[in-house]
Structure 1
Amino acid sequence: MDQKIIKVITGQRRVGKSYLLFQLIRLIQEREPAANIIYINKEDLEFSFIKTAEDLNKYVLANKVEGTKTYVFIDEIQDIENFGTALRSLLLKEDLDLYCTGSNANLLSGDIAGHLSGRYVEIEVYSLAYPEFLAFHKLAENNKSLDKYLKYGGLPYLIHLELEDEVVFEYLKNIYSSIVYRDIINRYSVRNTTFLEQLVLFLAAHTGSIFSAKKISDFLKSQRVNMAPNQVQTYIQHLVNAFLIHKVARYDLVGKRLFEIGEKYYFENLGIRNGLWGYRLEDRGKIMENVVYNHLLFKGYKVQVGILGNKEVDFIAEKDGEKLYVQVALTINNPDTLEREFGNLKNIPDNYPKKVVTMETFSGNTVEGIEAQDLRSFLLA
C-alpha cells in the first residue's frame, strides 16, 4: 500500500477478490477517515458508462482530490477495453494509489505485463484452503469435515448456504456457467460452445491424467466430436485463463528440462468439478491428488509433475530455492503400491524432503527418510 505500483488481485470468479478490496478500503478508512476513495465495479450497471481506457482515465481524474492522495479500486478491470493504457497513464500521477481485480489471466500475460513490466504486483487468490474452510463454517477438524471440503470445495459464499448436495451444486453450476459464458464464450467469441462444455467434462473425468491436445482430440473423435488439436489447445488455454483449471507441465528430473507436450489438468475448485461430473467413489484418488496440488499452490509453491525415466513423481514443489517432492496415494497397504510410491521418491538423486500423502493415518517410522503423512495432517500443516 502507498507504493507507486499497481496491485493486481487475480483469481477465479467468486473466490473473494472483491471482498479483499472492501477489506483494504476499510483499512484505509480506519487509518485515514477523510481519505478520498474511488471504487469502480464493472459488474455494477452504475459503471456501465466506463467502457474504454479513455472513459476510465477521465472518470478517475474527475473524481480525484487535488492536494491529497486518492485510492482507486477497480473491480473486474478486464471488462474495460484497453485498460492497460489507462493504468499506465494513471500511474504517472503521484497522488494516486491503484488497486484492481481481474478474472482472466490475460490480464497479466497481455494487457498489463506488456505495458507495465516492473510496475505491478500480482496477488493470486485461490479458493479457501482446508483450514480456512473449517474456520468459515465453524466445523470441527475430522474426517466428516474433510469429506465436505473434498465434495463442495472452498468458495467463500458457501458459508451462506446449507451444505447439502442439491443446494451447493446448484449454486456451483451457476458459478460455472457464469465463468464459461462471461469469461470464455463472450470474451473470446467462442462458437463451438457444445465442444467447450464437453471438454470441461472430459477434464473432470480425467483429472490428474497426462494428456496432450492431440490425445484429447483423438479421444473426442472416437466420441464423434471432431476438433483439431490446435483448437483443443486454444480452448484449454481459455479455461486456464479463466482460472477454471490449472495446467501443470512435466519436468524431466534427469535432463533438467520441461516436456513440450503432455500436461496434467486440475480444477481450481473441486466443488465445481464435482458439481459437473459428480462426487464418485472411484474418483477418490483423482480428487485427493487435485486437493494436494491446490494446497501446494496455496502454500506458495510453484508446482510441476516430475518424470524420472519411465516413472512419475506426482509433484515437484519449489519455493525460495528449496524443493519438496510429493507422491499421492489413496492407500499404501498393498506391497506393490508401497514399493511404487516410495520407490519413485527413493530414486530421486538429491536430498530435498520427500513425502507420500495418503488417506491412511500412520505415526510410525519413515521409509528410508521418506515420510508417510495422512491427507488431513498435510492440509493442516
Structure 2
Amino acid sequence: MVIREQYLLRIRPFYDSEMVKVITGIRRCGKSTLMKQIMSEISKNKIAGDHIIYINFEDYQFRKISNADALYRYVEALITDDNKYYLFIDEIQNVDEFELVINSFRSTHNISIFITGSNSKLLSGELATHLSGRTVSFRIMPFSFREFCELKNGYEDGMAKEQLLDEYMRWGGFPIVCKETEEESKEVLLSNIYDAVVLKDIIMRNKVASPAALEKVLEYVIANSSLTISGNNIANVMNEEEQIVSAPTIYDYLRYMEEACICDKVSRYDIRGKKVLAYEEKTYVCDLGFFHLKKNRIKDEYNYIVETLCYNELIARGYKVYIGKTFKGEVDFIAKRGQEKFYVQAAYMLSDEKVVEREFGAYDNINDNYPKYVITMDRIMMSRDGIIHLNLIDFLINDIR
C-alpha cells in the first residue's frame, strides 16, 4: 500500500479539531484508502475501536441509510459516552441533506468528523450553507508520479524512471489502474472509471437531459486539456457536427465536470494588476489516462501533456494555481501556498533556439524576485538569468524548493 504522506501531512494537524475535514476528489482516486490510513494512525493513539465510526456509502450494508434521519439515528446509537469519537463517512453525497446531520453532531458531541465525496460542491454548496467557516478541505488527486514510482518499484523493481514516466503519461495515476500490468486490463478499468464518473457524478446527479451531448462536450474538453476553451467555441464546434447545443448549456456542463473533479478550470491572474481575470480560462483534465482514452497521442501534443502533468502535480502538492498574465504574454503557472509563490513554464523539449527564447522569454516582463522555473524533459539543463531549468522527472520526484 502506498502511504499518501503528502496528504496525511496536511491533514494530521486537524485530527482532533472540531473543524469538519472534507476530502474531495474524483471517484476512485484513493479517498477511501486515505481515510483508512487516517483511521489507522488515530487508532495507534490508543483510541478504543468503538470510538472510531466508519460508514462507507458504497458498501451494500449501509444501503438503507439514504436520508438525514436514518444517518442521525445510526450514528447517535453508537455514541454512548462523553469521550472523544471519530466519525468517518465515505461518499457522503449519497445521503440527502447530510449537512444537517453533520452540523448537529459537530455542535452537540465531542466528535471529530471526516467526510469524503466525489463532488467539489460538497464545499461550495451543501456544506457551505450550514457549516460556513467550520470546514477544512483537502483535494485528493490520483497517484502522483512519485507515488506511482513507489507502487511500481514493488511490482517491477529496477525499472528506469524514464520507462515509468512513459507508462504514467499514458495510463495516468488511478490506483486501481496502476496496479494492473496488462494494457488491456488498464484500458477496461480506465473506461469503467470514466463511465462511472460521467453517469453517477455528472448525468444522474445533475439530471442531464441530453447525455450524448454532454459526453461530446466532455470528450472535447479532455482532448484539449491545457488549452483555452469557451462555451461559445465549443458550441460552434458542436454545431458544425450538427449537434445543436447552446453556450449556456455548455457552461452548465463545464460546471458539472468541474464539480465532479474530472477537470479544473484555471483562471488567469494579472501579474501587474494583481487581480484574477474572469475570462479566457484554461481547462486541465485531472488524470492523463483520460487524455489517452479520448485522444491518440502524437508528438506535437507532448507540450499539452507535460503542461497538464505539471498542473496536476502542483495541485497534488496543495498549491493554488493560476495562469500568469503579463503585459505582452503569459506564464503557464503561478503557484501559491501560504507565503510561498513561484512561477512555472512547462514544455516538452527545448528543441531549438526559438523554443528556448519562448519559454525563458515568458519571464521578461516579470520583475519581482519570486523563483522562476522552466520544466522540460531535456537532460541537459540550460538555466540562465536566474531562471532555473528543471528536468521533468526531477520536478516530479523532488520538492521544487
* Alpha-carbon separation, structure 1, partners of 2:268 and 2:240: 26
Identical columns (%): 36
Q: Deviations over 1:147-202 (max 9, x none)?
A: 0111111112234311x432212111100110111111110000111111111211
* Alpha-carbon separation, structure 2, partners of 1:18 and 1:238: 22
* Alignment of structure 1 residues 85-124 onto 2, 5 Å: 85-124=100-139
* Alpha-carbon separation, structure 1, partners of 2:147 and 2:316: 11
Does the CA-based 8 Å contact 2:67-2:98 persist in structure 1?
Answer: yes
* Alignment of structure 1 residues 193-208 onto 2, 5 Å: 193-208=211-226
1:350, CA displacement in angstroms?
A: 1.2
Q: Deviations over 1:51-79 (max 9, x none)?
A: 11121111111122224333221110011
* Alpha-carbon separation, structure 2, partners of 1:165 and 1:20: 26
* Alpha-carbon separation, structure 2, partners of 1:96 and 1:151: 43
* Alpha-carbon separation, structure 1, partners of 2:108 and 2:46: 20
* Alpha-carbon separation, structure 2, partners of 1:179 and 1:270: 15
Alignment partner of 1:142 is 2:142:
no
1:133, CA displacement in angstroms?
A: 0.5
Equivalent position to 1:240, from 258, 263, 266: 258
SS in 2 for 1:31: coil
Instruction: Tell me what 2:385 maps to.
Output: 368
* Alignment of structure 1 residues 121-136 onto 2, 5 Å: 121-136=136-151
1:219, CA displacement in angstroms?
A: 2.1
Range with bigger deviation, 25-34 or 310-319: 25-34
SS in 2 for 1:261: strand
1:141, CA displacement in angstroms?
A: 4.5
* Alignment of structure 1 residues 1-381 onto 2, 5 Å: 1-32=15-46, 34-36=48-50, 37-138=52-153, 140-162=159-181, 164-363=182-381, 366-381=383-398
* Alpha-carbon separation, structure 2, partners of 1:301 and 1:292: 12
1:33, CA displacement in angstroms?
A: 5.8
Alignment CA distance shift 1:259-1:218 (3 Å): farther
Paired positions, count = 379
* Alpha-carbon separation, structure 1, partners of 2:200 and 2:60: 15
1:301, CA displacement in angstroms?
A: 1.4
* Alpha-carbon separation, structure 2, partners of 1:340 and 1:143: 26
Does the CA-based 8 Å contact 2:381-2:391 persist in structure 1?
Answer: no
SS in 2 for 1:92: helix
Does the CA-based 8 Å contact 2:286-2:312 persist in structure 1?
Answer: yes
| Letter of the structure 1 residue corresponding to residue 397 of structure 2 | L
| Letter of the structure 2 residue corresponding to residue 257 of structure 1 | K
User: Aligned-pair RMSD on alpha carbons?
Assistant: 1.6
| Letter of the structure 1 residue corresponding to residue 262 of structure 2 | L
Does the CA-based 8 Å contact 1:15-1:126 persist in structure 2?
Answer: yes
- In structure 2, the gaps of 5 or more residues are 1-14
Give the structure-2-normalised TM-score: 0.90
* Alpha-carbon separation, structure 2, partners of 1:34 and 1:307: 53
* Alpha-carbon separation, structure 1, partners of 2:19 and 2:173: 30
SS in 2 for 1:259: strand
Does the CA-based 8 Å contact 1:169-1:272 persist in structure 2?
Answer: no
Give the structure-1-normalised TM-score: 0.95
Does the CA-based 8 Å contact 1:362-1:373 persist in structure 2?
Answer: no
* Alpha-carbon separation, structure 1, partners of 2:82 and 2:228: 57
1:26, CA displacement in angstroms?
A: 2.4
| Letter of the structure 1 residue corresponding to residue 31 of structure 2 | K
SS in 2 for 1:250: strand
1:135, CA displacement in angstroms?
A: 0.3
| Letter of the structure 2 residue corresponding to residue 204 of structure 1 | I
Range with bigger deviation, 287-296 or 314-323: 314-323
1:335, CA displacement in angstroms?
A: 1.6
Does the CA-based 8 Å contact 2:268-2:281 persist in structure 1?
Answer: yes
- In structure 1, the gaps of 5 or more residues are none
4+ runs deviating over 4 angstroms: none
